[in-house]
Amino acid sequence: MDKGGGEEMKSILYMIIGIVLVTIILPMVLIFSCDISPPDIDNVEDMPGETTIRVYVKETQRVNEIELEEYVKGVVASEMPAAFEIDALKAQAVAARTKVLYQKIKYGDNGNPTHPGAEVCNDVHCQVYRNEEQLEKLHSKEWMRDFWPIIEKAVEETSGLVATYEGKLIDPLYHSTSGGKTENSEDVFTAMAPYLRSVDSPYEQDSKHLDSETVISRNEFIAKINNTYKSCALSEESINSALKILQRSEGDRVSKIKVGNDTLTGRNIRELFGLKSANFKIVISGDKMIFKTKGYGHGVGMSQYGANGMAKEGYTFEDILKHYYQGVDIEAYKR
């Protein structure tokens, strides 16, 4: 190769290096050395595969916008013990995701009338949501180190999956412990949902809520009943004959109970005395009323302890969801 050709090659090479520097490397250096501001939240909705959730935060009385999958992580971590089996956590992730999308579609732009402008709140009214900072405060640094990655895994491995019935998102109610059998939705709430049927929940033995007792003094019971339901007109003398369970639901909760001169529901009694469930028996002993309850929560839809028991038996999150939500499909969410 002669000298002149080499010089020419060199200058072409310098020119190429110069172009690369100016057009690619320099802008990159500028971008990475600058503080990149977060993307405009309004645009996230338009990005494929991303959905934002408007969460009303009770403590601050403000609406926060949170990316769907991040929101689901915060719900799974708050609504289910993180030490549960991975398939129970996955079932909870699909239920939490389905619930918020169900509400987002149901309420539209206006949001839930209880908290306008937001499809969900961060409280039990909808489903509990806590961010990583709040979770660390509630538990510990060690908890975050040991359990947060498991929560993330459960959510990421079910990313975008929802439960549908005849192609539509379901309202996936869930509760802690059914007490052996879940409830038909119309026996607890007014609406009948074809996928919220009473089913056996045989693997709840690890739940500390399976059998509980609430003790109330006889006088307190009479006073509270008479204050709230005057028509009952309970008296101390007649209390032994004044109470009679008249009807139980398919899931064994008290649906009708005679209290003095009136008839109440098990839910009335549960709410008035803070019982863990409406599946109860009453034992009167001296001046004490003992409520022996089975399970914890309303009893409709997925039992969380039942889900964990099923996972321990080797059932997958899909098996669990299809058991507690009868006739559903698990599929990717289509907007």
What single letter denotes the amino acid at residue 130?
R
Q: Using an 8 Å Cβ cutoff, are 333 and 171 in contact?
A: no
CB of 38 to Zn ion, least distance (A): 26
Question: Looking at beta carbons only, is 35 or 59 nearer to Zn ion?
Answer: 59
CB of 122 to Zn ion, least distance (A): 8
- As to burial, measured by CB atoms within 10 angstroms (0-12 exposed, 13-18 middle, 19+ buried), residue 205 is exposed
Least Cα distance to 252 among 199, 204, 323 occurs for: 199
CA distance 309 to 318: 14
CB of 173 to Zn ion, least distance (A): 14
CB of 66 to Zn ion, least distance (A): 14
Phi, psi values for residue 303, rounded to 5°: -85, 125
Question: Looking at beta carbons only, is 126 or 264 nearer to Zn ion?
Answer: 126
Question: Looking at beta carbons only, is 55 or 275 nearer to Zn ion?
Answer: 55
Least Cα distance to 311 among 74, 92, 148 occurs for: 92
Q: Which two tokens stand for residue 54?
A: 């408007």
Question: Looking at beta carbons only, is 126 or 321 nearer to Zn ion?
Answer: 126
CB of 120 to Zn ion, least distance (A): 6
Question: Looking at beta carbons only, is 93 or 121 nearer to Zn ion?
Answer: 121
Q: Which residues bind Zn ion (CB under 5 A)?
A: 121, 125-126
CA distance 83 to 147: 7
